[in-house]
Amino acid sequence: MTMPASAAPAVSVLALTRRFDSTIALDGISFDVAPGELFGFIGPDGAGKTTLFRILVTLLRPTAGHASVLGLDVVTGLWALRRRVGYMPGRFSLYPDLSVEENLRFFASVFGTTVEAEHEMIAPIYGQIAPFRDRRAGALSGGMKQKLALCCALVHRPDILFLDEPTTGVDAVSRREFWDLLAQLKASGLTIVVSTPYMDEADRCDRVALIQQGRLLAIDTPAAVAASFDRPLLAVRAADRHRLLRAVRAYPHANTVYPFGEALHYTDMRAHESADVVARELRAYLAREGFADAEVSPIPPTIEDSFMARMGAPEGAAA
Amino acid sequence: MTGEGAGEGKPTAAPAIDARDLTRTFGAFTAVDHITFTVRAGEVFGFLGANGAGKTTAIRMLTGLLAPTSGEARVAGYDVYTQAEAIKRNIGYMSQKFSLYEDLTVRENVRLYGGIYDLSSREIRERTHRMLHRLGIEQVAGERVGAIPLGWKQKLAFSVALLHEPKIVFLDEPTGGVDPITRRQFWEMIYDAAAAGTTVFVTTHYMDEAEYCDRISIMVAGRIGAIGTPAEVKHQFGANSVDEVFVRLARSDTPGRGAA
């Protein structure tokens, strides 16, 4: 983000399409990632994230369009590129029967280097798993497996790192620690491209692309994506949440009503009415419906609000 | 959905789950360390905890898959030591990782599960029809489950877990990777099941979902670090969100245990 506009992009993708038989996994997407950027793809399973990452690390060819990484075309430049990218696949892909240390040595040797030579690169992360160096990789907890996989993806000093859903299935605390590690790596100048289904991780990225059904819904800074939400958003709270949900849905002006943690997030069909007016009317309606305790207050939208507003009908829309 | 003790909050209703000092060790390692809690019939109970805190071991004991080392637990009124088979017949189970057979069609999956739970052909036919209608997915009844969108699959898997009308349904990270709108629709299905009297025992890594539960517990290093309604738990820790409580509890965990 802080890079001068003239710097060649670390990743450049133009009209990239990938089909599997009749399924369109990626539907003509285009984006650039600047050198040194921490760039996130945010979207649910099946959005096309893994297909995109597999193309960018040369494991899959595009059906149409172009992609280059570090200035190398992902099809014609694959051998040069493979030495320079680090890739952590979404599925745990280390050897479960080898120990932590054996896995690391193996991946170093594949790239013609040693753990000792690369110590400085991996030290901050390896330090956290070193107490378990003799443990079989398969016997590690989710968070520890992810840290080991990150170490293995870094051991050949890549110029760019692709992490496909590194935090999926990992608890909230381990996820936070993992993002702290990524922030450290970014500070060292590494370009990082990461994907996640967790909307709350978007804020850890310089820029994010929202991805759904093979298309990009938005590409911008997390703050700008959240701010692009185009109508007043209200939080609605009352003690009996289930009944509140039904009552708010039945309100004639209701546009969207979604549970959001301990509140409901509400938008009004009258997009140009002010938040204060909408809040006052909704409060009056809820009072009439018997919610004496209802609180209605304007709030700033989150990435998740913005994602839902942009995604339109979900894949399970019929239900 | 027997409606037994359904949401009426009668103090006399037998708890759906009643665990006392439930413990499981593996060699020198205590995975679950004297946990005591009850889950009321018709309640949506969120079972939270960091990776390695002991959730999976506890769930395996409560579902009759693993014998405890010590302590007691009754699930749907049955003893986990001596009546594991009765427990399995009276609970439903669904997880993100395993739910349906991808190579079978939607209809075949439903028939398989109905058969496993000894439903008659007529019951299976009727319930399949009702389920597909309710989900609005009659048009994909003949399609392989592997070919339908994840959102449908997760909703279908939940309905299949309820096919034999269990008293309690265990949901292990049911919404992982699901898009945000479908995730919320899934929670409405959970509410509907609870309103019909089914007790819901659910794990999740989405902290906002913890707020949707009637009560939650947070496991830390094999023990229950906090339990109560989301509001009670937040109040107890002086926190603004369940996420904040979770982070504080997990950070207090002894180092090294996380690798278990």
Residuewise pLDDT in 10s, chain B (260 residues):
444 444 444 445 789 999 999 999 999 999 999 999 999 999 999 999 988 899 999 999 999 999 999 999 999 999 999 999 999 999 999 987 767 999 999 999 999 999 999 999 999 999 999 999 999 889 999 999 988 888 888 899 999 999 999 999 999 999 888 889 989 999 999 999 999 999 999 999 888 899 999 999 999 999 999 999 999 999 999 999 999 999 899 877 644 444 43
Report whether B183 contacts B154 (CB < 8 A): no
Report whether A58 contacts A81 (CB < 8 A): yes
Q: How far is B78 from chain A (nearest CA, A)?
A: 31
Chain B residues with CB under 8 Å of A242 CB are 191, 195
Range scoring the smallest mean pLDDT among A106-115, A261-270, A310-319: A310-319
Distances, alpha carbon B200 to alpha carbons B76, B112, B176, B191, B222, in Å? 12, 23, 17, 9, 22
pLDDT on residue A45: 86
Q: How far is A120 from chain B (nearest CA, A)?
A: 23
CA pair distance A261, A100, nearest whole angstrom: 38
By CB neighbour count within 10 A (0-12 exposed, 13-18 middle, 19+ buried), where does A81 fall?
A: buried
Residue for token pair 């060699």: B27
CA pair distance B137, B152, nearest whole angstrom: 8
DSSP SS3 for A202: helix
Chain B residue with the nearest C-alpha to that of A129 = B259
pLDDT on residue B253: 60
Residue for token pair 């002086």: B238
Q: What is the pTM of this model?
A: 0.86
Whole-angstrom Cα Rg for chain B: 18
Chain B residues with CB under 8 Å of A141 CB are 51-52, 258-260
Instruction: Name the residue among B131, B110, B132 with its Cα closest to residue B121.
Output: B110
Q: How confident is residue A10, by pLDDT bands cut at 50, 70 and 90?
A: very high
The partner residue sitting opposite A172, judged by closest CB among B187, B246, B256, is B246
Q: State percent of chain A over pLDDT 70.
A: 96
The partner residue sitting opposite A314, judged by closest CB among B49, B151, B246, is B151
Best to test chain B binding among A91, A101, A171 (most B CBs inside 10 Å): A171
- A258 vs B: CB within 8 A: yes
Q: Which two tokens stand for residue A257?
A: 């009503």
For residue A180, list its beta bridge partners: none
pLDDT on residue A26: 97
- A131 vs B: CB within 8 A: yes
Chain B residue with the nearest C-alpha to that of A212 = B179
pLDDT on residue A314: 58
What letter would DSSP give residue B12?
Answer: T
**Number of Cβ within a 10 Å radius of residue B216:** 26
* DSSP-assigned letters across all residues of B191-234: HHHHHTT-EEEEE-S-HHHHTTSSEEEEEETTEEEEEE-HHHHH
Chain B residues with CB under 8 Å of A45 CB are 150, 177-178
The partner residue sitting opposite A319, judged by closest CB among B136, B241, B260, is B136
By CB neighbour count within 10 A (0-12 exposed, 13-18 middle, 19+ buried), where does B224 fall?
A: buried
Best to test chain A binding among B179, B209, B213, B253 (most A CBs inside 10 Å): B179
By CB neighbour count within 10 A (0-12 exposed, 13-18 middle, 19+ buried), where does A221 fall?
A: middle
CA pair distance A46, A306, nearest whole angstrom: 19
- A319 vs B: CB within 8 A: yes
How are strands ordered across the β-sheet holding A207-212? A85-88, A160-164, A191-196, A38-42, A207-212, A215-220
Q: How far is A301 from chain B (nearest CA, A)?
A: 14
pLDDT tens digits for range A161-209: 999 999 988 888 889 989 999 999 999 999 999 999 999 899 999 999 9
Report whether B136 contacts A319 (CB < 8 A): yes
The partner residue sitting opposite A315, judged by closest CB among B49, B139, B149, is B149
Average pLDDT of every residue of chain A: 91
Q: Kindly tell me if the per-residue pLDDT of A140 is higher than 60.
A: yes
